[in-house]
Structure 1
Amino acid sequence: MKHNHAGQSRAAVAFLATGIVLLLATGLLGPSAAQPPLPGGPSWLPPYRFAADPSAGLVTALLLGSALSGALGLGLAMLALRAGWAPDPRRLTAAGIAAAVAAVLVPPMGSADHLVYAAYGRLAATGGDPYRDTATDLAAAGDPVGRAVEAPWQDTPSVYGPVATAEQWLAAKLGGDSTHTIVFVLTLLGAAAFVATGLLLQRAVGADRQARARIALLWMLNPLLLFVGVNAGHLDALAVAIAVAALVAVRRSPLLAGVLVGLACAAKVSLGLYVLALAWALRHRLKDLAVMLGAGLAVGAAAYLPLGTQAFEQMRENSKMVSLAMPLRLAVKPLESALDHDDARTLIGLIGWVALALVAWLLAPVVARAAARGPVADPALRDAAGAAALLTLAWVLTAPYSLPWYDLAVWAPFALLGASAADWLLLARTTLLVCAYVPGRAVPLPDGVDSLARTLRGTVGPYAGLALLFGALRLGQRARRDAAAGRDG
């Protein structure tokens, strides 16, 4: 057995390390088509970078190389684990923590979202309202944090929940009028949440050496997640950390699970899928189910009520958006030629929900078997993790609007399951979306890079996403056929 996985495990480690090194090297090059400038200081405070003025082609090639190398390493690691590889989880975890720290020592890349997060925090810290005011309002008042925000976010109020706004307010309080410092605090908090998630997941599987190693590889040493979940500074790391804490808490306290999942939804409303997962886990314990739902509702109401309806206005606008790289993008032109814009977008949204339900129903036996074969002993946590993995995977495959960092919500519960074919669907989806969204900034690009980015995002993305969707449907159909025939696939 050792002979079978030895080569795979060495190659896996080498490719994972290469993916992480390429990511860090790209960050060190300084502002580029992938990395917006971070005005302010002090210069001794991370993140650090040179001023190499790298070309858009170079940073695109490096980030694509990081993503593809990382994906190959993850695939080889999953194969080696299935073949019996059982590396020391403590060493992998230590390496993962070091990689997360390193990812915040270089500037965020892949989008300019962190700049508008800083502006929302600055608005909240200076008496503004991030659900009504925008970065343009800050800039008009001469605020340097507002001036740093890039297209297309200058005139967009916050779509995030009050917990996310609280994190942004804290970073702005600590960072003052320095975009550099505010962003560093935000990425540092995100890295801490990312590491805490990994440690929580490992605690959930107890002393199982191989299960802890799987978590370390799929979460903490995952170059794709280190890029979009840690370095890029998206708030998903914090929201998912709270949601995972809710999953783990359900073993002993439905009340605490409800409080935590309410907070997670108050950071990012899409984590309401975790509410459904917890409800499924408690479906036979009606009193505990009522306690969990009541606590979550109370926390959510307490968080949102002071903000009024304006907190939901931008959310309603965003519900009409369709990502370039998602399969439903292919339906936009035909439907908008037959219907008006709003009706077409409403119909696309309904199609997305129906597709989510269908994919979840078909894949349920696949994920249920993975959960049953997994290392989690507690039945409530096992059911909650399985349901969260199923619902979030179906969501990212079918949603009209989805971005690569949304996948953090999927990888976390998947790490608690046993190996299954669904792992490959997730790996392919995340790799596809990460590649489709580099270099990331909404800035003019050289013709070659622009053509590549448009092709990856606008053509490869939706058609490859459609292929993944059909793959999920075939996998689910086969699993249900095998179950009906009495075979355990």
Structure 2
Amino acid sequence: MNAVRTAVAPATGYRPLRWHRDHRVGLAGIVGAVGLCVIVGGLGPSVITITVGPRRDLLPPWYLPKGILDPNEWLVSLMIWAAIAVGAVGLRIAMRALDDGWRPRVRRLIWLGVGLITATILVPPLTSADVLMYAAYGRLQVIGRNPYEVTPADIFRGQYDPVMHWTERPWTDTPSVYGPITSWTQVAANKLGGTNMHDIVFWLQLFSAVPFVLACLGVLFIARSAEPERQARAALMTIANPVLIWAVVAGAHNEALSVVFAVAGMIVIRKSPFLAGLAVGVGGCAKISIGIWGIAMLWAYRHEPKQLLKICLGAAIPMVAAYGLWQPAALHQAIRNGGIISTGGWVNLLFSLLVSIFGHSPAKIVVGVLSYVLLPMIVYMLSKVLPWDPAPGIAPGVDSRKDPMTIALRTAMIIGFAWVTTSIYTLSWYDLQVWMPVALLTAGKLDRLLVIRGAVLSASFVPGRAIPFGPALTWAAARVRAPISPIVQMLILAAVFLWWKWPQRPQLWMVWRSPSGVDGDDQGPGVGDPQITPAADADPASKVAAS
């Protein structure tokens, strides 16, 4: 492999010799990406920035008053595409700098992340109008309707409603697919915001950002006893991760409501399986997909029936209360949501081809079956190549293959990644539950794959709203959504296969044989790198280092 050299001066710390391993470039990209998003949001309603209704007080989100500027649709779209790309590149550069020896102060990274997240929720949500639907579902409950049985369109088509009036297609005819805890936050936002959509949206943004920060802090709490490099890595991949900040916080998505409880359960899994199960069960009451972490916890204690039973009992208490007693319809709606085809996912091109040949229903069955076949295949491949890196805090002398936290984190990482990459309906904010264990363990190539997947999938939904655009922007956005994003998502699956086939190869997709005879791995020096030849009388250790 190419040798990358850095100079470390004791007095000043890490000094990069190449821009693509320069922590300053990486941090500039991270901050710049969020800055671009904040600027777009501050410009006011556009094809990117959602319309949240009139402001009646000083509460955020803040933006320029109507009439001052009319943001051009191409300008704001290009700014967000640039923000996603700059953020992803900045994150990769910062991660490379960590690999090379950069050791930032973790507290500074934490405060950086908190500052970026705070800035993001001071402007209106971007690209996705899902938050308007969250507000509408809360409004339905306030007026005494069941959001799992009645849709917002059922109301506003028959009468004027000051909140549901602002909702946007395509989900206005869809009942809520979220768990009871998420529904409670939607009610709370309506209680706090009254009948003003602007204020309701702010509280929903807060209910998205606070659990996100707490989940990230939970990961950092787990990593508190790890070496500085791992702590910094955990901070970069969670709280200061621009890919996640865009995917989750900028759109005010509620994914973190479930993840924060799962992380809390992971904190106590070594000492109290019952509390771990209870926490992940509460998380499942926010969003059922976090059940992947529950499966991971069960796998961690598969050889200990008593502890296994404790996890099941803990998880059953909130799940039975929420889905069995309080709102049985919620579980049905959540499961039904799994049959939708995602436009930016790997399946999109294949599904379109099959529809043209066999029709909609047969095509949906075929891709659904293929998805279920691919899921265990990806799980198997990853289980063979991912290292058994011990989780932070493991007791001295304990085998990582027998440590409950290590097993649970590794399993959640494997199944979670397999799920988001093979599901027929996948979105970039679903990756949050995968990033958490990736931040704590040695993930091989998964961190690189997650950056690529998240950035491209996010870009495919810019603009992501069901409102009219100009014909040129409509064409350009459609090309990113298909074929670019589906092709990249298929390449992600191909990269996992190649990783399994050639586990020693560092590249993601290189499949040819190098002149040295090693598959996909150039053993010679890079362009401009001098040949390093050890002296004839050098000791063996120095010869190995030089080679």
Q: TM-score, normalised by structure 2?
A: 0.84
In terms of fraction of residues, the more helix-rich structure is: 1
Q: Separation in 1 of the partners of 2:504 and 2:372?
A: 21
Which of the numbers 133, 144, 147 marks the counterpart of 1:127?
144
Unaligned 5+ residue runs, structure 2?
1-5, 9-13, 396-402, 507-520, 522-547
Contact 1:66 1:223 in 2 (8 A): no
Deviation larger for 137-146 or 72-81: 137-146
The reply to whether residue 162 of structure 1 matches residue 176 of structure 2 is: no
Residues 370-415 of structure 1 deviation map (CA, whole Å, 9 limit, x = unaligned): x34x645262222211111111111111111001111111111111
Cα gap change, 1:301/1:346 in structure 2, threshold over 3 Å: closer, same or farther? farther
The reply to whether residue 92 of structure 1 matches residue 109 of structure 2 is: yes
Which of the numbers 424, 429, 452 marks the counterpart of 1:428?
452
Residues 270-291 of structure 1 deviation map (CA, whole Å, 9 limit, x = unaligned): 1111111111222232211111
Q: Separation in 1 of the partners of 2:248 and 2:296?
A: 22
Which of the numbers 254, 263, 279 marks the counterpart of 1:244?
263
Contact 1:2 1:84 in 2 (8 A): no
Matched with 1:10 is: 24
Cα gap change, 1:97/1:419 in structure 2, threshold over 3 Å: closer, same or farther? same
Contact 2:349 2:483 in 1 (8 A): no
Contact 2:344 2:481 in 1 (8 A): yes
Q: Where do 1:19-418 residues align within 5 Å?
A: 19-50=33-64, 51=66, 52-139=69-156, 140-207=158-225, 208-307=227-326, 309-336=328-355, 339=358, 341-369=360-388, 371-372=389-390, 375-377=392-394, 379-418=403-442
Offset of 1:9 from its aligned partner? 1.1
Offset of 1:38 from its aligned partner? 0.8
Q: Separation in 1 of the partners of 2:311 and 2:183?
A: 24
Deviation larger for 104-113 or 350-359: 350-359
Matched with 2:477 is: 453
Unaligned 5+ residue runs, structure 1?
483-488
Offset of 1:366 from its aligned partner? 3.1
Q: Which amino acid aligns with 1:36?
A: I
Q: Which amino acid aligns with 2:433?
A: A
Contact 1:197 1:244 in 2 (8 A): yes
Offset of 1:310 from its aligned partner? 2.9
Q: Separation in 2 of the partners of 1:415 and 1:316?
A: 29
Contact 2:368 2:424 in 1 (8 A): yes
Contact 1:5 1:83 in 2 (8 A): no
- Mark the structure with the bigger radius of gyration: 2
Q: Which amino acid aligns with 2:418?
A: A
Q: Which amino acid aligns with 2:295?
A: L
Q: Separation in 2 of the partners of 1:364 and 1:162?
A: 34
Residues 197-217 of structure 1 deviation map (CA, whole Å, 9 limit, x = unaligned): 111111101243222211221
Query: What SS is found at the alignment partner of 2:238?
Result: helix
Return the structure number with greater relative CO, CA threshold 8 A, min gap 6: 1
Offset of 1:148 from its aligned partner? 0.7
Deviation larger for 216-225 or 25-34: 216-225
Q: Separation in 1 of the partners of 2:357 and 2:335?
A: 23
Q: Separation in 2 of the partners of 1:30 and 1:151?
A: 20
Query: What SS is found at the alignment partner of 1:205?
Result: helix
**Count of paired positions:** 481
Matched with 2:545 is: none
Deviation larger for 305-314 or 147-156: 305-314
Q: Separation in 1 of the partners of 2:310 and 2:187?
A: 31
Offset of 1:5 from its aligned partner? 5.7
Offset of 1:39 from its aligned partner? 1.4
Q: Separation in 2 of the partners of 1:247 and 1:87?
A: 26
Cα gap change, 1:308/1:100 in structure 2, threshold over 3 Å: closer, same or farther? closer
Cα gap change, 1:85/1:23 in structure 2, threshold over 3 Å: closer, same or farther? same
Cα gap change, 1:190/1:427 in structure 2, threshold over 3 Å: closer, same or farther? same
Q: Which amino acid aligns with 2:349?
A: L
Q: Which amino acid aligns with 1:279?
A: L
Offset of 1:189 from its aligned partner? 1.6
Query: What SS is found at the alignment partner of 2:441?
Result: coil
Cα gap change, 1:38/1:20 in structure 2, threshold over 3 Å: closer, same or farther? same
Contact 1:40 1:181 in 2 (8 A): no
Offset of 1:307 from its aligned partner? 4.8
Q: Separation in 2 of the partners of 1:352 and 1:85?
A: 40
Q: TM-score, normalised by structure 1?
A: 0.94
Offset of 1:314 from its aligned partner? 3.5
Cα gap change, 1:321/1:56 in structure 2, threshold over 3 Å: closer, same or farther? same
Deviation larger for 173-182 or 64-73: 173-182
Q: Separation in 2 of the partners of 1:481 and 1:383?
A: 25
Contact 2:189 2:204 in 1 (8 A): yes
Q: Separation in 2 of the partners of 1:430 and 1:337?
A: 29
Residues 56-90 of structure 1 deviation map (CA, whole Å, 9 limit, x = unaligned): 11111111111101000111111111112110001
Q: Separation in 1 of the partners of 2:328 and 2:368?
A: 22
Offset of 1:419 from its aligned partner? 5.1
